[in-house]
Every structure is written in structure tokens, then in C-alpha cells.
Structure 1
Amino acid sequence: MLDTLIKKIRSLDNFSQNEIDFFVGSLEPFQIAKGEHFLKEGQVCRHLGFIESGLVMYYRVYDGVEIPTDFALEGEWMGYLNSFTNKTSADLSIKALEDTNLLRLSASNFEKIYQLQPRFIKLKDHYTEMSFVSHTRHTADLAMLNAKQRYEKFMKEKKELVNRVPQYYIAAYLGIKPQSLSRLRK
């Protein structure tokens, strides 16, 4: 999976091998067991992680129910940039839905990278933009598409999650009741 990360970095700019080695040397292996949290609401996000294997869910709690706002899986970065960048308390949580192995980048190493290799800001900018676009699309889908359309779009764009995410989380992510999801699936 490290090769995947290096390919993604190189696709953003023509980084030298020394720059890549410096970046990769700043990462540390980390594991999150299924059901454990990478970040809890109220904590400050002090790490970002590149997922080597596993699956995590971003969520907020409303009326005692976990409402997913996003998912991240193999080959994707995870973390909460608002909290990470601004050093503020998170207003959401991130937990593992499967045992998850990742390469973790601390806030202090993140700052060192940008001080010594400012070109790596392109990496942060790219993932910030991708996160913004994804969040904006999901918000628009919830507002403009009916339940069937949201489900069909989910099946088309996130089909790798269908058998990995519990159905009640998929229903909540799509803004529908689990019973409605069952009917749509038939």
C-alpha cells in the first residue's frame, strides 16, 4: 500500500526520491481495532492517517444515533482537517468499522514537512479540495435527490462499501429509514 501512497503523491507533482523518502520517513504505522476511535467528538485531531487496510466512518451523534457523514477505506487519507489545522475540538467522531492499519502523520511532523519541503502543501490542498467537493455533493444529494436516486448513486459511486458497512449506517448516510433501504434493495 506504500506504493499506492507514493504514486498518489507523485501524481500531484514531480517530487524527487529524496522528498518522497523524507515524507514517508515522517509516517508511523498505527492500528485501530474495529469499534475503536481514531478521533472522538471534543478531542483535537492530532494525526492524519493513510489507510493501508480497513474502513473508518466519520459520524455525528443526533438524538443518540450515530449519523455517518462519510467513510474512508484503503488508499485514502483520513482525519479531520478543521480540527487538525486549527487545533480546535472536533465536532464529529471517526471510528473503525473494521480492524484498520494506517500510516499516521502527526501534527508536529506535518509542520516540519511543510517548513522543510513547502511543495508538499500541494498534497494538503489536493485532499482538502477533494473533501470539500465530496461533502458538498453529499449535502446536495440529500437535499435534491429522492431516496431511490440517493441509493442508486451510492451503489454506483461507493459500491465497495455495500458489503462492508452495516445497512443501518448506509441508511442513515442516505437519510432514509433502514426499512426504506430494505425496500429499495429489493
Structure 2
Amino acid sequence: MKSLTNHIATLFHLSPQDAELFLSQFSQTVLKKNDVFVAEGQVCNKVGLIEHGLMKCVYNKEGEEVVFEFAHEGNFISDYYSFVTNTPSEKEIRCLEDTTLYVITKEKLQTLAIVHPFIESLSRTMNERLFLQLHDRLKSMLLDDAQQRYQQLLVQRRDLAQRIPQYLIASYLNVTPETISRIRKKMSI
């Protein structure tokens, strides 16, 4: 938890005491590979912070998984849309590896924000970062070709490219696994 406290303090420009206070309301959860953190159809009323492990967020499209996002060490994980709107989740969040994370409920987070105003600022910063990430991803999907998207993944999230199977990377980039193979072959020449 100490490394997460330092990470949160640095990420959100908090004092170590404020970061510790924020994380004090989180409870440790240990999940195994393939365990579900948020099920499709379930209202998401929690946010997790991953200490160790890897998770994927997927939509189900006619029986096929469509990867929306990956989350790993130091990342927050939630179905934010379901969390905010209090509607059933349209996606599933599942572990790709054994995962240790710290979880806080929406109720605890709201109570904490009432008592400690810095939580509102932290929440606003998280929302802004989430918006910017989604904006960049959408822009890339609209303007970049498959090779550019793959190269961006390697630059921005190199460690993930080594941990995630090719077919999941392909789904995330909205291409076929064969396209990923061709891109890798072309890049190795």
C-alpha cells in the first residue's frame, strides 16, 4: 500500500498524509485470473486501484469480446459510466492476471468527499485525465491507421504489449490478429 500511497501523492500533487487518508477508506481485494470485478448488467458502485495485476474492460458484441481498455498497476478501474449514471454496466471488467487491488464504494467515496474537500479536487483531476485519455483514443481511432495505433501502444504502454495476447491487442486496436502479425513483421524488417 505504501507504493500506492506514494503514487497517488505524486499523481495528484497531494501530501503523503492526504494520500494516506484517501486510501484509508479502500479495502484490499484479491482476484484470480479470469475473476470478474464488474459484471455486465450489474450497476457499478465501486472504484478499484490496482496494486498488482492486469484487467480488461470488454463489451459483448454478438458473443465476441470487444476490448475497450486495459488497466494495470497504479491504474484506477471502474465502469465509470455505470458508476456516474447508476445504470447497469454494458461491459465486463475481468482479470487477465491474478490481481490485487484496493476498492472503495461510491457511498464511501461520497462521504469522504464531504468530510475532506481535497477529494473533490482529486475527483475533478481524475475526470479530466479520463476525458483526455478517451479523447486521444477516439482521435487515434478516427485518424490513425492500424500501424500508427500499434506503434502508439508500444510507445505509451510498452509493458502491456508484452503481457497481453495478440488477439486482445487486435481487439483493442480494432483490427484483426492477422493485421497485428503483418504490422509486427513489417516493423521487424
> Normalising to structure 2: TM-score of the pair?
0.90
1:81-135 superposed Cα distances (whole Å, 9 cap, x missing partner): 2212332211211111101100111122111101111221122111211111111
Q: 2:62 is matched by which residue type in structure 1? A: D
Q: CA deviation at 1:72?
A: 0.7
In the alignment, which residue of structure 1 is the partner of 2:71? 72
The answer to whether the 8 A contact 2:34-2:97 is kept is yes
Residue 11 of structure 1: how far off its partner (Å): 4.8
Q: How many positions carry a matched residue from both structures?
A: 185
Match of 2:91 in 1: 92
Question: SS at 1:41's partner residue?
Answer: coil
List gaps (5 residues or longer) in structure 2: none
Counterpart secondary structure, 1:90 = coil
The letter for the 1-side match of 2:48 is: G
Q: Give SS of 2:147's match.
A: helix
Deviations 1:10-42 (A, max 9, x none): 55344472x444322211100121111111121
Mean alpha-carbon deviation: is it higher for 1-10 or for 166-175?
A: 1-10
The question of 1:161 aligning with 2:144 is answered no
**For the residues of structure 2 that align with 1:54 and 1:42, how far apart are their CA atoms?**
24
Letter of the 2:9 counterpart: I
CA–CA separation in structure 2 for the residues paired with 1:9 and 1:46: 24
Residue 172 of structure 2 is matched in structure 1 by 173
Q: Which residue of 1 aligns with 2:12?
A: 12
Percent identical residues: 28
Structure 2 residue matching 1:34: 3-state secondary structure: coil
Query: How far apart in 1 are the matches of 2:62 and 2:149?
Result: 23
Distance 1:169 1:27, change over 3 A: same
Asked if the contact 1:9/1:123 (under 8 Å) is kept, the reply is: no
> Residues 153, 21 of structure 1: CA spacing in aligned structure 2 closer, same or farther, 3 A cutoff?
closer
C-alpha spacing 1:22/1:148, structure 2 compared with 1 (3 Å) = closer
Q: Which residue of 1 aligns with 2:103?
A: 104
RMSD: 1.7
Distance 1:153 1:167 in 2: 15
